[in-house]
């Protein structure tokens, strides 16, 4: 607005033109006394008048510029001097910022940077700092220092910060400045590059890289605890940036040291270490610790459990209560995986149920729901193991037909009734699936009704050579195990009443899981995983290593642990088990990359290291351009005085 003041420049110009004397042409008897000196003096005087006009114009312009400060507008980062401006600051909260350099953690360096920035901003300039706990920008000074810790385990909040910034930046008159303090691990830099490349608003961004110049870090990862392979703890020691000279590695069980060893490792190398410790009975849980101080301590200790338990969530979709024996059978299976079965009626199933389950059993579903149709969609879900048990009441039902068509059945579904009861017969006893199975055939099983012409590869036959169980992979890479007769309580067979039932289910699921290979459940502090007890009637209780209740896992879709350690999980109506929670190993990799803005964006993005940022802040604080303008105004006023002509009265 102050720039309108530049119109005042017209005032001396107008005055000059009003005062401009007309040129009189005259003839004179002799210019003898006017030649040379008078001409020169006249020229000098005219030049002086022009200079005076120029000086006045410059003086007014400089005074206007002094107030308007338009150079701040030309310089994208000049908005930091704008009293009406806004600055949004994000400080990387990942634990990599706990790296200690120059006697302080990186996040402390960042905090100092924020203070320094705050100190030079005009008082009315608003500074918002992203609160990593609240997940939004909070005005600094309004609520005092945030209670949120400087660093925490888990994912970066950069995406959330950029999203929030994006929603808030359009509200003000000026584009706000975004200041990012981070060590810029590779993935962070990638996020920023993406943000800058897709961003259409050219607002100034300052990326302050706090990454150590020649960082070093030693890390330890516990590969396995004592168990079947013996009373050993296996771990991997890695040295980055500097050689690891001989140092102790200890196994701790509670406060007791149950094993120790020595380790030495070359620069940017890794060493596997096996430490003898007590057996699983003595060291059910524990920690392995590297006895050395290094700048980044979070990955010097790792946790293990002697017997890890793999808990797989099973969603049983059934119209009636006929699936209870199946749930009971699943609950009784523990090795190598435990199953957490949940029974839902088709109408009750929600997407989260399907998404969170590793195994889905469709038992006698007559009419498909919209959510169940997600199973036929490509790439909407991770790979699942789906057990299909047909509805024999309405064998021509829509869902039977849809599933079998989806799996490639060309012929119409045909229900057959056996005149004499049929029993299952293994196709072989050498395949992985049926090796060491208790019985080759079981005549106690009686199958009265079954579907003929199932698609897929037969895994189990009936005594009349028709398929009882087949397996196929669909276009979405889900593994389908299709039974020709229901697997729950049914009039079509007596499977649930025989000793064949549980081994059959166990083998089928194991075989299916070997094909699907669901992800290993590794708990990493700060990261959320699917709740294995989602939808259970009773919540599971979670306790920390000291036996204090840590959480209740019931209706939450995702759950997790905030800090590394060992935790005990008590499922409802089942035996408790321990899990180890690790620190994110990526945080100690010292893999940094600064953001690389491209094209026009470069002008608006400053990528600075800490020292350069300090200088940048000092430069802002000095307001050098303002000083130059003051000096200019002073000089112009002096010039004005020097050029001033006192007119003689009259």
**DSSP state, residue 555:** S
Q: Which is nearer to other proteins, 26 or 173 (CB)?
A: 26
Q: Which is nearer to other proteins, 27 or 213 (CB)?
A: 27
650 binds other proteins (CB under 8 A): no
CB of 33 to other proteins, least distance (A): 3
Q: Which is nearer to other proteins, 37 or 119 (CB)?
A: 37
**Binding residues for other proteins, how many (CB under 8 A)?**
22
CB of 23 to other proteins, least distance (A): 4
For residue 104, give the H/E element and its range: strand 104-105
Within 10 angstroms of residue 283's Cβ, the number of other Cβ atoms is 23
Sequence-ordered list of residues with C-beta below 8 angstroms from that of 473, at least 6 positions apart, any chain:
479, 480, 515
CB of 13 to other proteins, least distance (A): 18
CB of 35 to other proteins, least distance (A): 7
CB 185 within 8 A of CB 94: yes
CA-to-CA distance for 491 and 398, rounded, in angstroms?
21
Tell me whether strands 86-91 and 177-182 are parallel, antiparallel or unpaired. Answer: parallel
CB 570 within 8 A of CB 543: yes
Q: Which is nearer to other proteins, 25 or 611 (CB)?
A: 25
CB of 12 to other proteins, least distance (A): 19
Helix (H, G, I), strand (E, B) or coil at 391: coil
**Strand-pair partners of 303:** 287
Tell me whether strands 447-452 and 424-425 are parallel, antiparallel or unpaired. Answer: unpaired
Q: Which is nearer to other proteins, 14 or 34 (CB)?
A: 34
Q: Which is nearer to other proteins, 1 or 26 (CB)?
A: 26
CA-to-CA distance for 290 and 422, rounded, in angstroms?
62
Helix (H, G, I), strand (E, B) or coil at 279: coil
Q: Which is nearer to other proteins, 44 or 163 (CB)?
A: 44
Residue 451, classified by CB atoms within 10 Å of its CB into exposed (0-12), middle (13-18) or buried (19+), is buried
Following CA atoms 226, 229, 232, 233 in sequence, which dihedral angle do they give, to the nearest 10 degrees?
Answer: -60
CB 131 within 8 A of CB 139: no
The sign one gets for the Cα dihedral 143, 147, 148, 149 is positive
CA-to-CA distance for 367 and 346, rounded, in angstroms?
8
Residue from 594, 627, 597 nearest 612 by CA = 594
Q: Which is nearer to other proteins, 46 or 602 (CB)?
A: 46
What is the residue whose two structure tokens read 């009637």?
537
CA-to-CA distance for 91 and 68, rounded, in angstroms?
32
CB of 39 to other proteins, least distance (A): 5
Q: Which is nearer to other proteins, 26 or 432 (CB)?
A: 26
Q: Which is nearer to other proteins, 43 or 267 (CB)?
A: 43
**Strand-pair partners of 265:** 244
CB of 618 to other proteins, least distance (A): 51
Helix (H, G, I), strand (E, B) or coil at 16: helix
Q: Which is nearer to other proteins, 123 or 648 (CB)?
A: 648
From residue 402 to residue 441, the character string flagging contacts with other proteins as x (rule: CB under 8 A) and all else as - is ----------------------------------------
CB of 650 to other proteins, least distance (A): 11
Helix (H, G, I), strand (E, B) or coil at 486: coil
Residue from 548, 593, 532, 582 nearest 153 by CA = 582
Following CA atoms 503, 505, 507, 509 in sequence, which dihedral angle do they give, to the nearest 10 degrees?
Answer: -150
CB of 50 to other proteins, least distance (A): 12
Helix (H, G, I), strand (E, B) or coil at 168: helix
CA-to-CA distance for 403 and 380, rounded, in angstroms?
17
Residue from 231, 275, 271 nearest 251 by CA = 275
Q: Which is nearer to other proteins, 11 or 41 (CB)?
A: 41
CB of 116 to other proteins, least distance (A): 58
CA-to-CA distance for 511 and 434, rounded, in angstroms?
9
CB 322 within 8 A of CB 363: yes
CB of 42 to other proteins, least distance (A): 4
CB of 29 to other proteins, least distance (A): 4
Within 10 angstroms of residue 128's Cβ, the number of other Cβ atoms is 21
Q: Which is nearer to other proteins, 23 or 420 (CB)?
A: 23
CB of 48 to other proteins, least distance (A): 10
Q: Which is nearer to other proteins, 40 or 345 (CB)?
A: 40
CB of 634 to other proteins, least distance (A): 30
Sequence-ordered list of residues with C-beta below 8 angstroms from that of 281, at least 6 positions apart, any chain:
none
The tokens describing 600, both together, are: 């026009």
CB of 37 to other proteins, least distance (A): 6
Q: Which is nearer to other proteins, 21 or 611 (CB)?
A: 21
CB of 59 to other proteins, least distance (A): 24
Q: Which is nearer to other proteins, 38 or 522 (CB)?
A: 38
Half-sphere exposure of 375 (CA within 13 A, CB side): 33
Q: Which residues ranging from 3 to 22 are in contact with other proteins (CB under 8 A)? A: 21-22
From residue 21 to residue 60, the character string flagging contacts with other proteins as x (rule: CB under 8 A) and all else as - is xxxxxxxxxxxxxxx-xxx-xx--xx--------------
**Contact residues: other proteins, CB under 8 A:** 21-35, 37-39, 41-42, 45-46
């Amino acid at each position: 607005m102050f720039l309108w003041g530049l119109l005042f420049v017209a005032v001396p110009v107008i005055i000059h033109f009003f005062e401009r004397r007309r040129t009189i042409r005259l003839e004179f008897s002799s210019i003898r006394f006017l030649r040379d000196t008078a001409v020169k003096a006249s020229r000098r005087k005219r030049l002086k008048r022009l200079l005076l006009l120029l000086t006045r114009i410059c003086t007014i312009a400089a005074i206007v510029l002094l107030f308007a400060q338009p150079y701040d507008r030309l310089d994208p980062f000049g908005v930091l001097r704008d009293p009406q401006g806004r600055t949004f600051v994000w400080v990387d909260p990942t634990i990599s910022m706990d790296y200690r350099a120059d006697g302080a953690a990186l996040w402390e360096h960042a905090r100092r940077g924020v203070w320094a920035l705050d100190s030079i901003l005009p008082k009315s300039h608003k500074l918002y700092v992203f609160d990593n706990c609240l997940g939004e920008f909070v005005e600094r000074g309004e609520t005092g220092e945030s209670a949120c810790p400087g660093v925490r385990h888990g994912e970066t909040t950069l995406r959330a910060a950029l999203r929030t910034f994006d929603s808030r930046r359009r509200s003000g008159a000026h584009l706000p400045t975004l200041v990012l303090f981070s060590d810029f691990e590779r993935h962070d830099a990638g996020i920023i590059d993406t943000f800058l490349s897709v961003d259409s608003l050219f607002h100034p961004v300052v990326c302050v890289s706090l990454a150590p110049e020649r960082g070093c870090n030693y890390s330890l990862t516990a590969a396995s605890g004592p168990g079947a392979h013996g009373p050993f703890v296996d771990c991997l020691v890695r040295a980055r940036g500097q050689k690891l000279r001989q140092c102790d590695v200890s196994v701790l069980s509670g406060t007791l040291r149950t094993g120790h060893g020595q380790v030495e490792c070359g620069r940017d190398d890794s060493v596997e270490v096996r430490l003898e410790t007590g057996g699983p009975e003595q060291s059910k849980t524990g920690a392995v610790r590297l006895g050395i101080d290094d700048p980044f301590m979070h990955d010097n200790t790792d946790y293990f459990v002697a017997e890890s338990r793999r808990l797989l969530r099973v969603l049983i979709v059934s119209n009636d209560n006929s699936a209870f024996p199946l749930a009971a059978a699943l609950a009784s299976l523990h090795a190598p995986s435990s199953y957490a079965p949940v029974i839902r009626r088709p109408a009750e199933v929600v997407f989260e149920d399907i998404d969170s389950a590793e195994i889905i059993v469709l038992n006698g579903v007559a009419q498909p729901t919209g959510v169940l149709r997600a199973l036929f969609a490509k790439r909407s879900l991770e790979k699942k193991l789906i057990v299909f048990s047909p509805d024999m009441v309405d064998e021509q039902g829509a869902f039977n037909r849809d599933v079998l068509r989806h799996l490639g059945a060309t012929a119409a579904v045909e229900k057959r009734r056996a005149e004499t009861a049929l029993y299952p017969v293994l196709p072989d006893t050498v395949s992985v699936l049926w090796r060491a199975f208790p019985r080759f055939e079981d005549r106690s099983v009686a199958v009265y009704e079954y579907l003929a012409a199932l698609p897929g590869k037969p895994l189990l036959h009936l005594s009349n050579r028709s398929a009882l169980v087949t397996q196929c992979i669909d276009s979405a890479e889900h593994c389908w195990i299709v039974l020709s007769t229901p697997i729950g309580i049914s009039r079509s067979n007596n499977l649930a009443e025989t000793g064949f039932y549980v081994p059959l289910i166990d083998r089928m699921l194991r075989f299916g899981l070997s094909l699907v290979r669901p992800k290993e459940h590794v708990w990493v502090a700060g990261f959320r995983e699917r709740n294995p007890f989602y939808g259970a009637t009773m919540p599971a209780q979670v306790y920390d290593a000291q036996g204090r209740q840590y959480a209740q896992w019931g209706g939450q879709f995702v759950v997790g642990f905030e800090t590394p350690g060992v935790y005990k999980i008590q499922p409802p109506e089942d035996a408790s088990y321990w899990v180890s929670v690790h620190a994110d190993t990526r945080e100690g990799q010292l893999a940094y990359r600064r953001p690389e803005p491209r094209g026009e964006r470069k002008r608006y993005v400053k990528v600075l290291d800490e020292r350069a940022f300090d200088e940048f802040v000092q430069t802002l604080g000095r307001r050098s351009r303002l000083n130059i303008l003051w000096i200019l105004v002073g000089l112009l006023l002096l010039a004005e005085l020097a050029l001033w002509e006192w007119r003689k009265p009259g």
